[in-house]
Amino acid sequence: MTTPPGARLLVGRWDDASLTDKLLEPVQRPAPASRAVLLVTGLGAAMLFATMGYVFVTGIGVFGNNIPVAWGFPIINFVWWIGIGHAGTFISAILLLLEQPWRSSLNRIAEGMTLFAVMQAGLYPILHLGRPWFAYWLVPYPSTMSMWPQFMSALTWDMAAISTYFTISLLFWYQGLVPDLAAARDRAQSDRARRIYGLFALGWRNSAWHWRHWRRSQLLLAGLATPLVLSVHSIVSMDFATSKLPGWHSMIFPPYFVAGAIFSGFAMVLTLVIPLRRLYRLKAVLTPRHLDLLAKLTLVTSLVVSYSYASEFFIAWYGGVEYEKYTLLTERPFGPYATGFWIMIVCNVFVPQLLWSRRVRASTVALWVISILVNVGMWFERFVLIVTSQRADFLPSSFGEYTPSLIDWMVFAGTISFFLFLFTLLIRFVPFVPIAENKEQLH
């Protein structure tokens, strides 16, 4: 990427000490609002767990799912959250391997977002099971009855892919955090904080050996995480693509899902970063150039997603399979859930085209609004994909309708709260802009 003149990744004059001070400021002098945000989102998270308890006790009949729409909100939201989780690893791992220096300011936020989004996503497949207490049967463990999962099912691989992804993301994120935790330890204002940060800093002493090992393992984990970015959502897409359902049974799904995931992930990074840099006055490290680059990548992935949409419709028409033609060319654009379809098209295809304009990319307000619209659009993409394909498939006698229940909405709102709660905790207790890596920018 060529750097346009004047678009630098660090604005202002800094030395190591002042930069450390600046980036540790949110931890040492938390914004007064953070307590209120924690309270509100914490209550939302409590509602989530109460609702989950209710669902476990009563049965998933309290959702709006039915036959034919056997997968409703839980799977829509699962795919949405998993998609959001993708940009983090993309920014931290792939850009590390590609030696893109601009990732350094963003990677911690993005990775935290990944972790927390995958946590939300991971709740759903368990919650939506008829008998969630047997969820571990999807895991290949040696049981006395020699019962194994059925390895032809995409769900078995889904379980493996998501748990692997979560583990690697957690390790990668935590390991990257160690030098900064040490910095927080060294500048801790209370004994208790010093002990806690010290515990998590794993005895980091800033020696050259530490740095050498740290750098190596970061590269190794990045190497491990990179294929996961591509594989996780490919496997999630196979939950759909390996079925026979018109609208799901499609070869294009793996790349299409990965592009969509990164698209929504970038949008979510923008959604989170723009208010943060304003709130914590971090315009020096989260510069307009960072936003510009994120916006450009959003535009690129939007184009890939748009291409995938076009290809789906073309193949439905060209393939001539009656059922697919009906689902894609009649049901989606003109059926009872057409509103969702058109929201998806407008938000994912047309709105991102505004990012061609440099003025739009330079306007934080415009970028923020666009990023939110993209997330809305991507949610509707999953809604359209899941509901319209299931509600009208082969036999018209089985065509049905789907209306999410109050519980569905409560769980969805609960996961958003839980996500924001975890994210606020991150902001509050961990230097969310990497200090060490930004100091490298100085040298």
Q: Which of 30, 42, 153, 315 binds other proteins (CB under 8 A)?
A: 153
| Contact between 393 and other proteins per CB under 8 A | yes
Residue closer to other proteins by CB (options 65, 226) is 65
Phi-psi bin for 12: left (phi > 0), alpha (psi -120 to 50), beta? left
Q: Looking at 12-20, 59-67, 286-294, 340-348, which segment touches other proteins (CB under 8 A)? A: 59-67
Q: Which of 218, 231, 242, 363 binds other proteins (CB under 8 A)?
A: 242
Distance CA 247, CA 249 (A): 6
Which DSSP string do the residues of 143-194 spell out, in sequence order?
-TT-----TTSHHHHHHHHHHHHHHHHHHHHHHHHHHHHHHHHHT-SSHHHH
Q: Looking at 197-205, 224-232, 370-378, 389-397, which segment touches other proteins (CB under 8 A)? A: 389-397
Q: Which of 36, 98, 100, 131 binds other proteins (CB under 8 A)?
A: 131
Q: Hey, how many other C-beta atoms are within 10 angstroms of the C-beta on 401?
A: 13
Distance CA 249, CA 257 (A): 13
Residue closer to other proteins by CB (options 254, 434) is 254
Residue closer to other proteins by CB (options 94, 155) is 155
Residue closer to other proteins by CB (options 167, 403) is 403
Residue type for 254, please?
A: P
Residue closer to other proteins by CB (options 112, 404) is 404
**Minimal CA–CA distance to 65: which of 425, 390, 416?**
390
* Rounded least distance, CB 125 to other proteins, Å: 8
| Contact between 129 and other proteins per CB under 8 A | yes
Q: Residue holding tokens 């993301």? A: 169
The residues near 191 (Cβ < 8 Å, ≥ 6 apart) are none
* Rounded least distance, CB 131 to other proteins, Å: 4
The pair of three-digit structure tokens given for residue 163, joined into one six-digit string: 């748990």
Q: Looking at 203-211, 301-309, 387-395, 419-427, which segment touches other proteins (CB under 8 A)? A: 387-395
438, 9 contact by CB (below 8 A): no
Phi-psi bin for 63: left (phi > 0), alpha (psi -120 to 50), beta? beta
Q: Which of 1, 33, 147, 442 binds other proteins (CB under 8 A)?
A: 147
* Rounded least distance, CB 157 to other proteins, Å: 9
109, 432 contact by CB (below 8 A): yes
Q: Which of 2, 144, 146, 150 binds other proteins (CB under 8 A)?
A: 150
Residue closer to other proteins by CB (options 67, 208) is 67
Q: Which of 77, 92, 156, 375 binds other proteins (CB under 8 A)?
A: 156
| Contact between 338 and other proteins per CB under 8 A | no
Cα–Cα separations (whole angstroms), residue 411 to 128, 136, 324, 378: 11, 22, 32, 18
Q: Which of 111, 180, 239, 437 binds other proteins (CB under 8 A)?
A: 239
| Contact between 397 and other proteins per CB under 8 A | yes
206, 80 contact by CB (below 8 A): no
Residue numbers 314-333 binding other proteins by CB under 8 A = 322-323, 326
Distance CA 46, CA 378 (A): 26
| Contact between 144 and other proteins per CB under 8 A | no
Distance CA 247, CA 221 (A): 36
Residue closer to other proteins by CB (options 128, 332) is 128
The residues near 5 (Cβ < 8 Å, ≥ 6 apart) are none
Residue closer to other proteins by CB (options 247, 352) is 247
* Rounded least distance, CB 44 to other proteins, Å: 26
| Contact between 134 and other proteins per CB under 8 A | yes
The pair of three-digit structure tokens given for residue 378, joined into one six-digit string: 């991507």
| Contacting residues toward other proteins, per CB under 8 A | 58-62, 64-71, 128-132, 134-135, 137-138, 147-150, 152-156, 159, 239, 242-245, 322-323, 326, 390, 392-401
